[in-house]
Amino acid sequence: MGNSEWPTPTFADGFGDAVSRYRVELLPWAEVLADGVAFREGDELRMIRWDRVLHALAAHVGEPEGVSTVVFDLVVERKDADCLVRRFDADPGEAAQGVARAMVDALGRERCSRSLLDLAAEGVASRAYSDLPSLAAGSLEDLGL
């Protein structure tokens, strides 16, 4: 009754391709500031300045009634059909909305995804995914890659 192999090869291949093209580097202890996003790399405090960010995206990741977070991806490099993003997250609700508002103010609407703009205005990201591989696939689509 049905396919007992999950995920199916086609399903897994589609997300595998997306994950390999949507390269992610995590930003530990990220903090949004006026000049950019500060983060820790070992003992060193580093920053990604806003002028390095090509595009910013936001999405709710996880289960609505379970563990979830709002993921912020900063696209810092695009080449052909691939991109490099620097990622951090925030708790859903006021914390995520505050981050989104600060990012929209710093980057301008034209460098922000629709979901990030919705999060800043309404407090809810309009993109939601159950896991990170599906987020990668959706983000590539959102970026037209």
How many residues does the structure list for the chain?
A: 145
Number of neighbouring beta carbons within 10 Å of residue 59: 24
Express each pLDDT in 96-129 by its tens digit.
Answer: 999 999 999 999 999 999 999 999 999 999 999 9
Phi then psi for 127, rounded to 5 degrees?
-110, 135
- Do 103 and 125 form a contact (C-beta atoms < 8 A)? no
- Do 19 and 134 form a contact (C-beta atoms < 8 A)? no
Single pTM value for the model: 0.86
Given a cut of 60, is residue 144 above it in pLDDT?
yes
Buried b / exposed e over 83-104, threshold 16 CB at 10 Å, is: bebbbbbbebeeebbebbbebb
Given a cut of 50, is residue 6 above it in pLDDT?
no
* Residue 75 bridge partners (DSSP): 55, 85
Express each pLDDT in 9-55 by its tens digit.
Answer: 444 455 778 888 999 999 999 999 999 999 998 899 999 999 999 99
What amino acid occupies position 44?
E
Express each pLDDT in 68-85 by its tens digit.
Answer: 999 999 999 999 889 999
* Residue 25 bridge partners (DSSP): 86
Given a cut of 60, is residue 5 above it in pLDDT?
no
CA distances from 63 to 12, 92, 115 (A): 20, 12, 18
Q: Look at residue 13 in the predicted model and tell me its pLDDT.
A: 53
CA distances from 99 to 3, 45, 53, 73, 86 (A): 43, 19, 15, 12, 15
Express each pLDDT in 53-68 by its tens digit.
Answer: 999 999 999 987 778 9
